Amino acid sequence: MKAREKQLLLENMKAELSALKRSPLYRYRVENNYLPVVGEGSVSANVMFIGEAPGRNEAKTGRPFCGSAGKILDELLDSIKMERGDVYVTNIVKDRPPKNRDPLPEEIKVYGPFLDKQIELIQPKVIATLGRYSMKYILEKFGLHGELRPIGEMHGKFLEADAPYGKIKIAILYHPCVAIYNRKKLPGLKKDMKIINKTCPPKFSQ
């Protein structure tokens, strides 16, 4: 599928999400004049980063990882000589939960199929999970239930899996927000990011 076709399908997804009244977060979004946050980056990227849910800045702009966590993500990408334009960045949940709380199971259930479609369209060779909710969803999606452990044991590792379009690698990473509250965590996050270089070819977008 050509990049333009993928882009059109993702734009259609944004329209569908905007009208998703069955979402438990729909009313909260409308009441606060927020936007759904679909994703951003290369639609032909080899690497897809998946977070948990958008925050306030993201919901106001409709762009993923554009706040404090986004600045750290950019710093992490720079540490492995990558840019936002090389990758695709999204979340499981596409609307902001109140007070930036963790996503609820029913919210993940509603938005999960949209993420599944994004993976199907972009066909990344590496899926990098950011945080424990993303890790759990992706490992379960690809039949790796038995590999699930606390993220404190899993971060900085990668697993191999079979996607409908071929073999993929799943890189387990902490969410960048952990370094917002404790900058001493940043070197560890950068160390974990190096697994992306090990799992992906030198040219990061096709």
Contact between residue 108 and residue 93 where contact means Cβ atoms under 8 Å apart:
yes
Mean pLDDT across the stretch 192-198?
91
Task: Write out the two tokens for 19.
Answer: 């009208």
Average pLDDT of the chain, as a whole number: 94
CA distance 203 to 86: 9
Mean pLDDT of 157-166: 96
pLDDT of 168 above 90: yes
Q: How far is CA 56 from CA 2, 51, 65, 79, 128, in A?
A: 33, 14, 10, 26, 23
Q: Is residue 116 part of a domain?
A: yes
**Environment class of residue 43 by beta-carbon count within 10 Å: exposed (0-12), middle (13-18) or buried (19+)?**
buried
Q: Is residue 204 one of the residues assigned to a domain?
A: no
Number of structural domains the chain divides into: 1
Can you give the CATH number for the domain in which 46 is found?
A: 3.40.470.10
**What is the pTM assigned to this prediction?**
0.94
Within-domain flag for 205? no
Q: Which of 49, 34, 59 is nearest to 89 (CA)?
A: 49
Question: Per the domain annotation, does 188 fall within a domain?
Answer: yes
DSSP for the chain, written as a single string: --HHHHHHHHHHHHHHHHT-TTSTTHHHHHHTT------EE-TTBSEEEEES---HHHHHHT-TT-SHHHHHHHHHHHHTT--GGGSEEEESS-SPPGGGPPPPHHHHHHHHHHHHHHHHHH--SEEEEESHHHHHHHHHHTT-GGG---HHHHTT-EEEEEETTEEEEEEEE--TTHHHH-GGGHHHHHHHHHHHHHHS-SS-B-
Kindly report, residue by residue over 32-90, the tens digit of the pLDDT: 999 999 999 999 999 999 999 999 999 999 999 999 999 999 999 999 999 999 999 99
pLDDT recorded at residue 206: 40
Domain region containing 64: 3-199
- Domain assignment of residue 206, yes or no: no
66 falls within a domain: yes
Confidence band (pLDDT; 50, 70, 90) for 190?
Answer: very high
